Amino acid sequence: MKKNGFWHRAFDLYYDGFRSMTLGKVLWAVILIKLFIIFVVLKVFFFPNFLKENAEEGAESEYVATELIQRSTNLNTY
Amino acid sequence: MEFLYNLDDSMIEWSRAQFALTAIYHWLFVPLTLGLAVIMGIAETCYYRTKKPFWKDVAKFWQKLFGVNFAMGVATGIILEFEFGTNWSNYSWFVGDIFGAPLAVEGIVAFFMESTFVAVMFFGWKKVSAGFHLAATWLTGLGATISAWWILVANAWMQCPVGCAFNPDTMRNEMVSFAEVALSPFAIDKFCHTVISAWIIGAVFVVAVCCWYLLKGREQKLAVESLKIAAIVGLVASVGAALTGHQSAARVAEVQPMKLAAMEALYNGGTDQSLTGIALINPFAQPDYENEAEAPLKIAVPYALSILATNDPHGYVAGINDILNGYTKPDGTVELSVDEKIERGKKAIAALAAYRQAKFASSDDGSTAAAQLQVLQENMPYFGYGYIRDKSEVVPFVPINFYAFRVMVGVGCLLILFFMVVLFFLYKKDITAAPKWLHWTAIVMVPLAYVASECGWLVAEFGRQPWTIQDMLPTWASVSNLQSASVIVTFFIFLVLFTTMLAVEINILLKQIKKGPES
């Protein structure tokens, strides 16, 4: 990689930038903790894809159609 | 609401509350990001033009606060998408293709544009030329603004669905015109009003920080010069928000007249309508709009509502009862009553059921399916009304809309006055020797401006109830068939998480403000 080349300079920008961070280190720590909570804890344990769990693969439209039609039917026969 | 397919009634309310909580929290960060982007861009432009190190310090200081806010806001919007998939699965499937494109573009733009230029802005002071750095700073703000554009396009589509066609085979709305979705007039108005209001938040924040420095008798030069930028941006944005707000109101009158009627507590419409300044409306109960002629103790500005909604002092504005019972528009077109729309909606849903049955039945030669498809297409604009039991269900909760609209407009007017006073002290007096009440007012304006901004969203979202997609799907058809317990658990997890994160952010921000610029 040439020292004056674009990729070297781009790498250098990020490398030096991350190394010399002060406040940035705290912020990155907060971001990483937050991302862990959001993607690992919340997404996996609390926010499953409802249709994937309840409808057969490829039959999601059938499931939604049944839901929407029956809700209307039940509503109108109440 | 047991009649709804054994659907847990509280599930709907908890899902709504959770979505509202997440959106309100997300909106604490977004406007400050968009607003500070403008201020720091202008400060760095001053540095680029003057080459004075002072301006570099100013730009770096606001960029640092921008960075704190940016970091805290990262990924808070993703949670909304999780909620779509879990709590609002019918809705998500129903809109999938329309939402997919804008959100995908937003994700790509946000990730590549912002991550590239944010890095250059923070790491590149000694690595790239001053011109390139300045461009990176502005492009950081532009990237965030473009992200906001796509999100607002998606939101605008829910309020005014355009450029799509419902496919009864896939049960999805499919995009037929990307341009119609991306450039819908509703989206453009929403974008202009929202982004300009975000600039106000940035300006108010900067004015408050500067006034705090003046109160403490430190960083006076930075404070005064930043005040000049922020007060001008704030005044221009406040006036701009009023103008774009007018445009938005006119658009709402056209496509969501019920929202405007609820905002105004306008029970019976007509021509020459006055704009209510204040009226006595019970904040906890829906008013008796069927029997009351108008809200009690109403003080109003003559003709102003007609001007707001139609740009004509004699223009016609529909009231709640007009919309419920049907009315004739000034151009002669007849708006059906809600009861008629309910009948059409039921026809659409029945036709959908019959179409799908015929389509998948081996005995049908295609004629039944074709006939039912035609009925469905004719009545599709009223599809959502098939889920309405009583016409009163299409009236949003008036008190929230009425008061939230007045808080937003009232604080907006106050901000115009406030920025004018700040500019007066900056250019005609000595702001450093201004009375302390002005500086304290500036600090108090930060939460007030946030309240006004969130009130804007309350009006936008409460005003379109019960619809998740205007006229197509009400909340009780959109929600997943879940038990509310799981939503309640995550609601409180969010409440704790968001409160903690907010406390962390405010703590870091205050520490950096106390620390001041690094010169």
The predicted pLDDT at position A42 comes to 87
Residue A13 shares a structural domain with residue A30: yes
Quick one: pLDDT at residue B408? 97
Query: What tens digit of pLDDT does each residue of B442-478 get?
Result: 999 999 999 999 999 999 999 999 999 999 999 999 9
Residues A43 and A53 in one domain: no
Whether residue A61 is found in the same domain as residue A76: yes
Q: Could you tell me the two tokens for B147?
A: 């992200």
What are the sequence ranges of the domains in chain B? 11-256+396-466+485-510, 264-333, 338-387
Q: How far is CA B111 from CA B67, B114, B117, B146, B147, in A?
A: 15, 6, 10, 12, 10
Which pTM was predicted? 0.92
Q: Are residues A69 and A31 part of one domain?
A: no
CB contact under 8 A, A65 and B86: no
Report pLDDT for A78: 42
Residue A1 above 70 pLDDT?
A: no
Q: Which residues of chain B have a CB within 8 Å of the CB of A67?
A: 5, 90, 481
Pair (A15, A42) in one structural domain: yes
Token pair 């994700």 in the structure block, residue: B107
> Which pairs from B132-140 meet CB under 8 Å and 24+ separation?
B133/B44, B134/B41, B134/B44, B134/B45, B134/B47, B134/B48, B137/B40, B137/B41, B137/B44, B137/B59, B137/B63, B138/B41, B139/B113, B140/B37, B140/B114
CB-based burial, A28-47: b 16+ in 10 Å, e otherwise: eebbeebeebbeeebbeeeb
Tens-place pLDDT, residues B381-423: 999 999 999 999 999 999 999 999 999 999 999 999 999 999 9
Nearest to B387 among A38, A48, A72 (CB): A72
Q: How far is A41 from chain B (nearest CA, A)?
A: 11
pLDDT < 70 regions, chain B: 1-8, 364, 519
Short-list B337, B351, B339, CA closest to B379: B351
Query: Looking up tokens 């610029």, which residue turns up?
Result: B517
Contacts of B94 in chain A (CB under 8 A): 64, 68
Burial track B386-412 (b if 16+ CB lie within 10 A, e otherwise): bbbeebebbbbbbbbbbbbbbbbbbbb
∠ CA B283-B286-B287, rounded to 5°? 95
Task: Examine the domain organization and report whether A38 and A53 are in the same domain.
Answer: no
DSSP of B129-192, one letter per residue? -HHHHHHHHHHHHHHHHHHHHHHHHHHHHHHS--SEEEETTTTEEEES-HHHHHT-HHHHHHHH
* Interface touch A71/B71, C-beta < 8 Å: no
Query: Does residue A25 share a domain with residue A43?
Result: yes
Residue among A50, A64, A77 minimizing CB distance to B171 = A64
Whether residues A21 and A54 fall in one domain: no
Predicted local distance difference test score (pLDDT) of residue B1: 46
State which residue of chain B sits closest to A46, comparing Cα positions: B490
| pLDDT in the model for residue B52 | 96
Task: Clarify whether residues A40 and A61 are in a common domain.
Answer: no
Q: Closest approach of chain A CAs to the CA of B127, in angstroms?
A: 7
Query: Are the C-beta atoms of B222 and B65 separated by less than 8 Å?
Result: no
DSSP state of B314: T
The average pLDDT across A41-59 equals 89
* A37–B93 C-beta distance less than 8 A: no
Q: Per the CB < 8 Å rule, is B352 touching A23?
A: no
Residues of chain A whose beta carbon is less than 8 angstroms from a beta carbon of chain B are: 9, 12-14, 16-18, 23-24, 26-28, 30-31, 34-35, 37-39, 42-43, 46-51, 54, 60-61, 64-65, 67-78
Q: Which of A45, A30, A43 is nearest to B502 (CA)?
A: A30
Picking from B68, B86, B482, the nearest residue to A27 by CB comes out as B68
Based on the structure, what is the number of domains in chain A? 2
Q: Do A61 and B7 touch (CB under 8 A)?
A: no
| Domain that residue A31 falls in | 1-47
Distance from CA of B336 to the nearest CA of A (A): 20
Do both A4 and A31 map to the same domain?
Answer: yes
Mutate to test the interface with B, among A33, A67, A78 (most CBs of B within 10 A): A67
Task: Kindly provide the ipTM of the predicted complex, given to two decimals.
Answer: 0.87
